[in-house]
Amino acid sequence: MARIDWSARSVWLVGASSGIGLALAHDLHALGARVVVSARQEALLQEFVSTHPGAVAHVLDVNDVEHTHRVAQKIHAQQGLDWVVFCAGYYKPMRASNFSLPEMRKHNDVNYLGALHVLDAVLPALQQQGRGHVSFVSSVAGFRGLPMSLAYGPTKAALTHLAEVLYLDLQPQGIDVSVIHPGFVKTPMTSSNEFKMPALITPQEASQEILRGWQRGAFEIHFPKRFTRWLKLLQFLPDRWYFALIHKATRL
């Protein structure tokens, strides 16, 4: 497979003020891509742009549908839309004992509806030009139900399902789709976890895994393999065995 010529591509990273999105923005810029970063925190975006010549920043709240469309149109007109990466995410540990409808809605608004808003803004241009790539950062938390992920897990499961259906629809049109399933990554989002996170990796390691997956042309990119392979195997366990194993492993 031919190597991706990033110097010929414009990459829009939505949710790139920290974590995996920021690490990807840094690595893609180093590879020569025309990098466009978006997030709600303007100061962090400007900090990135000031140290990465040629990079462009657009402050964005993915729940503002009209503004999301305006930003997408501006990027398409000025830099082109080749690669769109949805990295925005929100996470707060939750169990049924502290169920909060506002928190459930917030997770859905950012993690799933936010992706739909971005997709709605970019899909017409990608379909018109007959090429491009859309990538969603989901999570292994969407594989099967896990304790503490009552609000987060379902939104990531929905994002994965969305990517699968989009692949079926868009790949024949020349538009690639990929979904990313990280394990535990050391980011501001996971800093609220009070338990030991197995196989914890850095955002920089995550970025390199993603770039290798894109280079392979993979639809699904999951990492670190020493952790995610076990979780993928658990998907095939009968429910009774799975629930018993998770209760025993987590003591929850």
pLDDT at res. 29:
98
Q: Is the pTM of this model over 0.75?
A: yes
Could you identify the residue written with the tokens 């990098």?
35
Packing angle of the helix pair 114-129, 65-78 (nearest 10 deg)? 30
Q: Give 18: exposed, middle or buried? Use CB within 10 Å, 0-12, 13-18, 19+.
A: middle
The band of 194, judged by pLDDT with boundaries at 50, 70 and 90, is low
- Mean pLDDT of the chain, nearest integer: 94
Residue with the bigger pLDDT between 87 and 188: it is 87
116-136 pLDDT tens trace: 999 999 999 999 999 999 999
Q: What number does CATH give the domain 6-250?
A: 3.40.50.720
Packing angle of the helix pair 19-30, 203-216 (nearest 10 deg)? 60
The band of 196, judged by pLDDT with boundaries at 50, 70 and 90, is confident
pLDDT at res. 191:
66
pLDDT at res. 1:
59
Does the pLDDT value for residue 187 go beyond 90? no
Domain ranges of the chain: 6-250
65-107 pLDDT tens trace: 999 999 999 999 999 999 999 999 999 999 999 999 999 999 9
pLDDT at res. 2:
66
Percentage, residues of the chain above pLDDT 90: 88
- The catalytic site residues sit at 152
